[in-house]
Amino acid sequence: MLSERMQKALNDQIRIEAESSQIYLAMASWSEVKGLEGIAQFMYGQSDEERMHMLKMFKYVNERGGKAEVSELNKPADQYGSIKEMFETLFKHEVFVSQSINELVHISLEEKDYATHNFLQWYVAEQIEEEAQARTILDKINLIGDDKGGLYLFDNDIKQLTVVSSVAPGV
């Protein structure tokens, strides 16, 4: 059974995961309208992944005798000054999510909820992967700079990065 405090913290995280999905969906639209097909495909994939993160936690809360909440979501930014700015936003957002997961892990230990602690390890590993991926992409974008040909190749390359590796079992 989840404690009240643990349940609230998990529901807060469910909202953050849902908002992450919306943020990346807005990025997909911005890119698609600009003709950046590969980047749009990548962002649609990221958005789906975040929904899966949300659902995995949602089901866990109910499984443990809690009640998963569907919260109101903030409207994400839908304009970016540049591709670089958009990926910087993505990276900063992932760092924020990692901090939030760390806080959840901390609460699970304080609540002596070892089942939730164990459940959260998947998210800890996932965040390492997502931060590393965002950093790699930013490095590439910095290398490309204003080179249009480089950008064209990058838009093509990023299709390969559309992550399938982290699809959680049982969702």
If one asks whether residue 53 binds ligand OFO (CB under 6 A), the answer comes out as yes
Q: Per CB under 6 A, does 9 bind ligand OFO?
A: no
Decide: is 20 part of the binding site for ligand OFO (CB under 6 A). yes
Among residues 153, 151, 161, the alpha carbon closest in space to that of 129 is found at 161
Closest by Cα among 40, 49, 45 to 17: 49
Beta carbon of residue 64, minimum distance to ligand OFO (angstroms, whole number)? 20
Task: Determine, following the binding rule CB under 6 A, whether residue 126 of this chain makes contact with ligand OFO.
Answer: yes
Site for ligand OFO (CB under 6 A): which residue of 10, 28, 57, 130? 130
Residues 71-110: x/- map of binding to ligand OFO (CB under 6 A)?
A: -----------------------x--x-------------
Q: Taking CB under 6 A as the rule, does residue 133 contact ligand OFO?
A: no
Nearer to ligand OFO, 94 or 113 (CB): 94
Tell me if 56 contacts ligand OFO by CB under 6 A: no
Q: Which is nearer to ligand OFO, 94 or 155 (CB)?
A: 94
- Using CB under 6 A as the binding rule, whether residue 13 contacts ligand OFO is answered as no
- Told to check if 17 binds ligand OFO by CB under 6 A, we report yes
Q: What is the DSSP string of the chain?
A: ---HHHHHHHHHHHHHHHHHHHHHHHHHHHHHHTT-HHHHHHHHHHHHHHHHHHHHHHHHHHHTT--------PPPP---S-HHHHHHHHHHHHHHHHHHHHHHHHHHHHTT-HHHHHHHHHHHHHHHHHHHHHHHHHHHHHHHTT-HHHHHHHHHHGGGG---TTPPTT-
Q: Which is nearer to ligand OFO, 32 or 131 (CB)?
A: 131
Q: Is 169 exposed, middle or buried (0-12, 13-18, 19+ CB in 10 A)?
A: exposed
Q: What residues line the site for ligand OFO (CB under 6 A)? A: 17, 20, 50, 53, 94, 97, 126, 130
